[in-house]
Each structure stands twice: as structure tokens, then as C-alpha cells.
Amino acid sequence: MITFKGSGVSKGVASGKVCFYQHPASEIVKTAAADLEYEKMRIHDAQMQTIDQLNALADKCREEAGDEAAVLFETHAMFVEDDDFVECIQTTLEDEQCNAEYAVSEAGAQFAAMFAAMDDAYMAARAADIRDVAKRIVNNLMGVADGGIASEEPIILAADDLAPSETVQLDKSKILGFIMRGGSGNSHTAILARTMGIPAICGAGDALKDEYADRVAYIDGETGQVVLDPDEMTYQMLQEKFKKQQEMKELMDTMKGQPDDTLDGVHINVYCNIGSVEDVEAVLTNDGQGIGLFRSEFLYLASEDYPTEEEQFEAYKAVASKMGGKRVIIRTLDIGADKQIDYFDLTKEENPALGLRAIRICLNRPEIFRTQLRALYRASAFGKIAIMFPMITSVWEVKECKRACQKVMAELKAEGIPYNEETEIGIMIETPASIFIANDLAKEVDFFSVGTNDLTQYTLACDRQSNDLGKFFDPHHPAVLRALKMAADAAHANGIWIGICGELGSDLELLPTFLAMGMDELSVSPSKVLPLRAAIRQSIAKTCDLSKLEIV
């Protein structure tokens, strides 16, 4: 038996074959071709492989979503064989006497640039498709599996760590659990695992060996334990845990349809955090009463180029419609820090968590902001959308955001496009500055939502991405809890509501503290809704106190 431990960051037990993530090619290195004919043959084989993959994807899409969705992949498959594209690859190969990967990637870049420069907006938007096709061919040349997972069966995904842009592109139906050598409980991989409700372990370090690939592992996302070849006793213990997990799930299912009220009748809204349109399914299955945080940057991370107004509108509209009139809070783009996107061309920073991220990027690049706000307001006609701005530190930032909203609404009105004039506007409280001026900020907006992941990071000066800070990264620190209380008091004194959308919102140990503060909403991973509801329904709000804010 082999066992090792990391930190359990998403509860649950799972077993399956270990499969190591294959990072997609990021930088293509140019090398001299030893045999040009051989490189040509490699390109031909990779093209055929790509066409087969794209046709298979088109078939799958047709079955699941109809003809319209399948057309995209069929068009991509046709482009692989496009005469001009193929000629451009051959010319590059011969002129540069280089490796196949470089020739395909260069030809892809040239074609994408040519399309991007076209006046016709539809044709210009095809640049992203071309980059996608070229990347697929290059991945096949390099033997990198599509989506990073070289398996047809569901597996336990192992990796050093995953960038948010890699995480969003995973085929989630293939993942039973995660084991990461690095990462932390606050990394976006861990957050995604919790959203999906699958077990995850971070910080396993070198104990996770390459040679474990293809072997069956049992993982426990609560204790952080990984077991291969379990002995009889461990095997029985794991089976017992599987059984308990199933029983707990059945018990929690009885919470569906129940109100989120304490025994003494205090109601608290239990909403969900999502990162994509697909995640709404988990919200509905777990009976979430709204969406408290849609991390819209995941749309950008999943895209090869800036998502257009139309693409964003369709996504926001889909979420709003699927939620059928329940509140959907969409946070504007929050990139920078750990969420890097190549096509934004952000300057490399020494301290990205303190750099140009989130609202700072939007205020510096108004065209990007405008596109997103237009999509949001257009979607507001199809459900109860609220707009939320991240990483606020000053009142002037909020005023500038509101001016941008006013401008967009005026544009839509002039164009005769419907939108909801009453769309709520809120901000994330996730910097110490926003706590200190909460009273002034509350006068500007309709609601606050506390991002405890960043609030803990910035209050305690602890990197949320690091797995080495251990007890120093303590979201229960009285400084963090007192900050929450200050924000709640400022919100209520100004007649607005306040919620928590950071990971702390689902911390059952702190539920009495949140009730004592009068939190109006808790937004959690979909898998946490029913356990939270069960705890709320057993609580008596009037007996809850703020003793956790004291230093003992």
C-alpha cells in the first residue's frame, strides 16, 4: 500500500485511475528541420488527426445541442484543409527550413492577423477560430491531448498545479477528483473543484510521483489522504466512507425545497458561486436560491480572444433565463493576479496581486468595460441581473463605474434595445480600504458582497495562492471577522443589504457569527447549499453572538 497526504480542499471520496494533466503548448520553439519531407508527413498526419477529432466533436455536439452547435466544429474541420492555409504552412516550412510545429503556428498567426484586420466584424471574429484550429494541429504534433486529459474514461486528474485558463478548459465530465503537487485551498482550481462538488487535494508535493500514472488511487478530499493499492483494512474504511457519503447525500436531498430560515424565523438568502453557464445546472440541482457571484472572467479565460458583446450577451442571458427570475449577480471582469490571459497583453508585474487587476483594468481600458456592460444591460431584460464591481478601494472608482453604466444605458435607449433600468449595482468588499470607507461606499450602491478570499489575503498580508503559509493564512482571524462586522454595520446603517461570496461563506463554524452580524446573503459553491441550509434551519439567530471576534 502507498499512502501520502496533501491538504484536503474539496470534500468527498473518489477513486479512479491517475492521469497526469498535459499542459498545452504555450511557446512554440523554432528548430531547424533535419528532414523536411519527414516534417511534411508529420503535418499531414496531425491534420488528419485534427479533422477526426473535430468531426467527433461535431457529432457529439449535434447529439447534445443540435445542428447549429455542430456547425462550428465542422467549419473548423474544413479550415484544417483549406488550400490557402495548407499552402501557407508549406511555404513557411520550406522558406524557414524549420520544424512542423513552428510552421503551423506561424501560418495560423498570419491567417488570424489577416482575418482580424478585416472590416467585416463577422470575418474579423473568425481570427479566434483560426488560432484555435492551428493550436489543435500543434497540440497533435506535440502529442498533447485535447483539453489536457489523455483518457476517454473519467479519471483522477494529477498535476503540478493548473492555471485558471487551463482549469476552465478541462472536460469536467472526465474528472472524478484532483491531486495537485502545489496550489492552495484558495486557488481557483480548488474553488472550481468545490463548485463541481468533486474531491480535491492540493500541496501533495513530490509524494505525487509520475510513476503513479494509470494506477488506481483513492482520494479523500477532507483529510487530504491519497491511497494506492490499499490493504484490506484501509479498503474497508474507504468503502465505509463511500457509503456514508451516499447516506449524507440522501439526507441532504431532503433539504431541497425548504426555506433558508432559522428556527426563530430569520431568513438568509443562500445563493451560489459559478464560473460558467454550465455551472447553473449544479445550482438548480442543489436548489440554490440565486447566483451571488458569477465570475465573468472565466468567459474570457475560456476564450482565445476578447469575447464579443454578442457572445457575452448570450452567456449572461442564458444564466438569467435558466435562473427564472431569481437574482443573478454578475461580477465584471476580474483578471490580473493569478488569472492571466495572454491576449490582454498585461505587463509583467513584480507583485501582480497588488497590480493592475480587476476594476483597475476596466477603468483603464474603457472599450473592454463598455463591451461587457452593454452585454450585461442587454441581458438584464431577460431576468433579474445585478452587476457587481470587484477590487474596489475608492469612492471615485465606484462613481466612474456608475458613469460607465449610465452611458451604456443611454446608448441602448437611443438604439431602442431593451434593458432593465432598475438593475442593481453592487461592489465587492475585499480590500481593507473598502472596509475603512464602507460607510461612504454604501451610499453609492445597492449592495455589498464580501470577498473573504482576497479580504483575508490583503488584511493579513498572506498570499492566498501559497500552500506554505499554513496557520498564518487564517480567515477566522479576529481582524478579518471584525472587518466583516464593520462592513455589515455600514451596509445596514445605510439601508443596503450585504452578503459574503468568498469561501468563508460556507464555513459552518462561522454561521452563528454571520447570523449575529445580520448577514443577508451567503453565496457558496453549489455543493455547499444543502449542508448550509440544514445548519441554518437548526440555528436560533437571537442566541448567536460575536464571541469569535474576540482574541482568546
* Interface residue list for ligand PEP (CB under 6 A): 293, 295, 334, 430, 451-454, 501-502
Greatest Cα-to-Cα distance within the chain, rounded to the nearest angstrom: 79
Instruction: Output phi, psi for 231, to 5 deg.
Output: -75, 175
Do the Cβ atoms of 131 and 37 come closer than 8 Å? no
- Shortest Å distance, C-beta 298 to ligand PEP: 9
Do the Cβ atoms of 223 and 200 come closer than 8 Å? no
Which listed option, ligand PEP, Mg ion, none, makes contact with residue 11 (CB within 5 to 8 Å by class)?
A: none
Which listed option, ligand PEP, Mg ion, none, makes contact with residue 295 (CB within 5 to 8 Å by class)?
A: ligand PEP
Q: Which is nearer to ligand PEP, 100 or 329 (CB)?
A: 329
Q: Which is nearer to ligand PEP, 231 or 349 (CB)?
A: 349
Rounded CA-CA distance 281/273 in Å is 12
Site mask for Mg ion (CB under 5 A), range 396-435, x = bound? ----------------------------------x-----
- Shortest Å distance, C-beta 385 to ligand PEP: 18
**Per CB under 5 A, 161 contacts Mg ion:** no
Which listed option, ligand PEP, Mg ion, none, makes contact with residue 501 (CB within 5 to 8 Å by class)?
A: ligand PEP
**Per CB under 5 A, 451 contacts Mg ion:** yes
Rounded CA-CA distance 282/297 in Å is 19
Active site residue 405: no
Q: Which is nearer to ligand PEP, 289 or 431 (CB)?
A: 431
Rounded CA-CA distance 321/317 in Å is 6
- Shortest Å distance, C-beta 430 to ligand PEP: 5
Which listed option, Mg ion, ligand PEP, none, makes contact with residue 502 (CB within 5 to 8 Å by class)?
A: ligand PEP
Q: Which is nearer to Mg ion, 149 or 391 (CB)?
A: 391
- Shortest Å distance, C-beta 365 to ligand PEP: 19
Q: What is the 3-state secondary structure (H, E, C) of 34-70?
A: CCHHHHHHHHHHHHHHHHHHHHHHHHHHHHHHCHHHH
Rounded CA-CA distance 504/522 in Å is 9
Q: Which is nearer to Mg ion, 200 or 293 (CB)?
A: 293
Which cell numbers hold the place of 418? 431593451
Which listed option, Mg ion, ligand PEP, none, makes contact with residue 227 (CB within 5 to 8 Å by class)?
A: none
Query: Total residues contacting Mg ion (rule CB under 5 A)?
Result: 3
Rounded CA-CA distance 456/452 in Å is 6
Active site residue 188: yes
Catalytic site residue from 19, 76, 88, 188: 188
Do the Cβ atoms of 208 and 13 come closer than 8 Å? no
- Shortest Å distance, C-beta 477 to ligand PEP: 15
Which is it for strands 225-228 and 291-295: parallel, antiparallel or unpaired? unpaired
Say whether 382 sits in a helix, a strand or coil: helix
**Per CB under 5 A, 454 contacts Mg ion:** yes
Percent helix / strand / coil, the chain, rounded to 5: 55, 15, 30
Q: Which is nearer to Mg ion, 12 or 451 (CB)?
A: 451
Determine the interface stretch with Mg ion among 182-190, 370-378, 395-403, 443-451 (rule: CB under 5 A).
Answer: 443-451
- Shortest Å distance, C-beta 310 to ligand PEP: 25
Buried b (16+ CB within 10 A) or exposed e, 201-215: bbbbeeebeeebeee
Say whether 500 sits in a helix, a strand or coil: strand
Which cell numbers hold the place of 528? 455547499
What is the set of active-site residues? 188, 501
Q: Contact residues for Mg ion (CB under 5 A)?
A: 430, 451, 454
